[in-house]
Amino acid sequence: MKEKLIISGFGGQGSLLVGKLLTYAAMLDGRYVTFLPSYGAEVRGGTAYCNVIISDEEIASPTISIADTLIAMNLPSVVRFEPAVVQEGLIFINSSLIEYEPDRKDVRTVRIPATEIADGLGNIKVANMVMVGAYLAKKQILSRERVHEALGHLLPEHRRSLYEVNCGAIKEGYKLTNNQTPRNKMQDTRYEGQDTRNKIQTITNDQ
Amino acid sequence: MTEKRLMSGNEAMAEAAIRAGCRCYFGYPITPQNEVTAYMARRMPEAGGVFIQSESELAAINMVLGASAAGCRSMTSSSSPGISLKQEGISYIAAMELPAVIANIMRGGPGLGNIAPSQSDYFQAVKGGGHGDYRQIVLGPSTVQELVDLTVCSFDLADEYRMPVVILGDGLLGQMMEPVSMPGMRHVEIKEEEWVLSGCRGRAPRLLRSLILDPGDLAAHNLHLQEKYRRVAAREVRFESVFTDDAELIVVAYGTPARVCRAAVAACREKGIRAGLIRPITLWPFPREEISRLASQASHILVVEMSHGQMVEDVLLSAEFRVPVSFFGKAGGLTFHIDEVIRKMEKTNQKSKIKNQKAKSKKQKHKSKP
């Protein structure tokens, strides 16, 4: 198993935290894992992204040129990293902020109105965790329990109070994605149809 | 086994330094090694040590000189342009035979360059970036765990030989996070050796200096230093070899590109190419003998570096032109992708095969003539 994942969004949306969280969970699972953030002139509102590689074998390079999965929190992220996703790869789109649909017909898209769901949960900042939940449901590489455990390790003492709402957001994202697009259906739609629109899985908040 | 922690290379190095008994850190911020300074600022006071964000790189390296002269394990870190500024101090430290650890998390150059990973400071580190006939031990870790282990090791080496030790990493290694297990906290006393400036109450004053005006005296000092460097070269060479026993194509790489090369070598083995990897861990002293030995066994050597060819010169010297040496490099912050390394290896292998065949047929022609 080898998963190459790019997580990208505005600075402040918590893309790097998502990366760290999944990396930490993979470490708890005893897997090889690397996390590489974009660094330097990143600021709140700018673009921040990271590369995460989870593998059963030693990892050669922590940089990703072709990704298996992209989690895009905002529009510039889809535009920038869509070409880097492998054929039949998966793109998670925060549809609350991204109206754009990828041009490519050879990738699968999962749309999650993460920001709206987070808002509904009472904290717009946990949109990133909704995306985590969706990712966990779709990819089945890491268990939700592991990610919750990792979150417990990662949250600093003065942020403990945010543990529940973060876990809740993960659960919400997981539930939505799991319920509305069963895995076998996804697999069925993988190779059929030329029109991407048919393949795009739209997940809405109203159940 | 100790529990693993998830840390960036920079933070892991800082923690490892503290656990190795480093109690003085002086630094000036520069990307991509800022996390070292930030981590030390928080952690060093907890450990009962001294952290100073100096007013400049020059000040930082000279603070290291001072703290080291007073017998304390001390360290500074920076990235390429900052390390250039520290060269004068490093030369003085070498001349005064003081232990010191200097970490260079290399970025793209020359000049201010950029903040992306690079290996273009190899010459500076290995050939002595400052003036004068001095050497420094140079360590080239390739994983965050190895960075931790070599950081601990660097303080021991610096103390043992009383000379500067450089940890030569690149921006990738500094920034990336990997699971690491940390060594235990070591208690290291302030040194009480006969050269330490510990206050002369009740004894004759001591003097540490790099100014030796008398040519005879300076010549003798240089000979003494060279003798020490020979000792280091004889005893401290470290490298890792992968699949080299029967290898025809030897790849030489250090630091993070060596990770990619290791995977590329494994992939080439599966394709039936007898490839192997030599990864120098000490860049000075360089694993010259091992590469020389392999030069008589292999049919081709390929050097892969994030520069336009620096370590390749040491490989050429070690191989003594007995075997063709090819180079694959890029600079400016670009990193290697495994596929391009594999392609380059296949091409190199092909070339050397054709050459060997030509040489063989030529030999046969010569034989058949008379």
B286 and B142 housed in the same domain? no
The complex scores an ipTM of: 0.90
Report helix, strand or coil for B144: helix
Q: How many CB atoms lie within 10 A of CB B348?
A: 23
B39 lies in some domain: yes
User: For position B133, which CATH number holds?
Assistant: 3.40.50.970
B156, B152, B150, B120: which is closest to B138 by C-alpha? Answer: B150
Instruction: State the DSSP H helix or E strand holding residue B59, giving kind and residue range, or none if neither.
Output: helix B57-69
B231 and B353 housed in the same domain? no
B135 lies in some domain: yes
Strand order in the sheet with A2-10: A201-202, A108-112, A85-94, A67-72, A2-10, A47-55, A32-37, B177-180, B5-8
B341 and B268 housed in the same domain? yes
User: For position B360, which CATH number holds?
Assistant: 3.40.50.920
**Which CATH code fits A2-190?**
3.40.920.10
Q: Cβ of A35 and B176 within 8 Å? A: yes
Residues of chain A neighbouring B264 (CB-CB closer than 8 A): 60
User: What residue numbers bound the domain in which B60 lies?
Assistant: 5-198+209-235
B155 and B278 housed in the same domain? no
Residues of chain A neighbouring B115 (CB-CB closer than 8 A): 39-40
Q: Cβ of B6 and A62 within 8 Å? A: no
- Report the residue from B31, B175, B260 with minimal CB separation from A61: B260
Q: Which DSSP symbol is given to B189?
A: P
Q: What integer is the mean pLDDT of B97-115?
A: 97
Instruction: Locate B303 and state its tokens.
Output: 């050097």
Beta pairing, strands A85-94 & B74-78? unpaired
User: CB-hemisphere CA count at 13 Å for B77?
Assistant: 33
Q: Cβ of A20 and B262 within 8 Å? A: no
Q: What's residue B302's pLDDT? A: 98
**Distance between CA atoms of residues B61 and B66, nearest Å:** 9
Which residues are registered as beta bridge partners of B27?
B53
Give the gap in angstroms from C-alpha A180 to the nearest C-alpha of chain B: 34
**Distance between CA atoms of residues B90 and B101, nearest Å:** 10
Name B33's Cβ contacts closer than 8 Å, sequence gap at least 6: B10, B77, B78, B79, B103, B105, B174
B32 and B108 housed in the same domain? yes
Whether the CB of A156 is below 8 Å from some CB of chain B: the reply is no
- Kindly tell me the burial class for residue A207, based on how many C-beta atoms sit within 10 Å of its own C-beta (0-12, 13-18, 19 or more): exposed
- Report the residue from B32, B179, B336 with minimal CB separation from A61: B336
Number of domains in chain B: 2
Task: Tell which A residues from 1 to 60 touch B, by Cβ distance under 8 Å.
Answer: 20, 23-24, 27, 33-37, 39-40, 58-60
Instruction: State the DSSP H helix or E strand holding residue B66, giving kind and residue range, or none if neither.
Output: helix B57-69
Residues of chain B neighbouring A63 (CB-CB closer than 8 A): 172, 335, 337
Q: What's residue A110's pLDDT? A: 93
Tens of pLDDT, residue by residue, chain A (207 residues): 999 999 999 988 999 999 999 999 999 999 999 999 988 766 777 789 999 999 999 999 999 989 999 999 999 999 999 999 999 999 999 999 999 888 888 999 999 999 999 999 999 999 999 999 999 999 999 999 999 999 999 999 999 999 999 999 999 999 998 765 433 334 333 333 333 333 334 433 333
Give the gap in angstroms from C-alpha A151 to the nearest C-alpha of chain B: 13
B204 lies in some domain: no
